[in-house]
Amino acid sequence: LLGFTVLLLPLFFLVSIDEVDGDVVVPEFDFYVFAMSFQPEFCYEHRGDDYDGCTHPRKMWKSQLTIHGMWPENVDGTWPSSCTDEPLDINGTILPILPELEQYWPNVKSSTKGKHHSQFWSHEWTKHGTCSGLTQKSYFQETLKHFVSTPDMVGQHYGKTLKKAELINAYDGNVALVCQHKRYLSEVRVCLNMVSGVPTSRMPCPAVVLKEDNCGDEISITKFSGVVK
């Protein structure tokens, strides 16, 4: 049994597929890849782009990875993509949960008042969410519900290095660590079981996911160069 830790968000997010209205597609995939991004490294890789979330990042992002996405995938390494042409309902789906998205699933490329601020979530819905079998509200709420807490050692080594084996152990093993240049922590990917598209519990990641791990034995934890809020 994997000692998976999630950050339990308010009961507002505990919504099942049976509690929401709308057409859904039949999910045809085996499990979810749940990807978390380390924003200090993302911002360093895009240091010339002057992204709002990088020049004024939140303090939490120094020690806590944020959601990149929850992606349907198959054990053979294939995955469904863009299964319907249903556009994201910004007013009905995004605005009611915007404060939570800003913190746990942020779009650091745009300011909160920018006209393209919802573009990241629209991309995740169009490419991945439309294949989940879930309605829009349920897809975003279930993703937030399964937010993966980052081990304390990441914040403790902010701007320093740590041992890859120790970080894997802190995540209870069976996790893919993705690094820029095989050294700088960029993403962490775990796998989730699902029933009729609804994510349930953490599962051992298949080999097709684990092979995405490209970090060396020593991992560097990048610091923000901007002013942290």
Query: What average pLDDT values come out for the chain (229 residues) when binned by 10 residues?
Result: 46 38 69 98 92 92 97 97 97 96 94 83 98 97 98 97 98 96 98 97 97 98 79
pLDDT at 116: 80
pLDDT at 229: 59
pLDDT at 115: 76
- Does the annotation count 68 as an active-site position? yes
Closest CA to 35 of 84, 79, 68, 83: 68
pLDDT at 228: 66
For the chain, the straight-line distance linking the first and the last C-alpha, in angstroms and rounded, comes to 38
d(CA 53, CA 113): 12
pLDDT at 119: 95
The DSSP string of 33-102 is: EEEEE-HHHHHHHTTTS--HHHHS--GGGGT--EEEEEEEE-TTS--------PPP-IIIIIGGGHHHHH
- Does the annotation count 124 as an active-site position? yes
pTM as predicted: 0.87
> Which one is catalytic: 41, 73, 117, 124?
124
> Which one is catalytic: 68, 117, 146, 157?
68
pLDDT at 41: 97
pLDDT at 25: 63
Q: How many CA atoms lie within 13 A of 229 on its CB side?
A: 10
> Which one is catalytic: 117, 128, 146, 157?
128
- Does the annotation count 123 as an active-site position? no
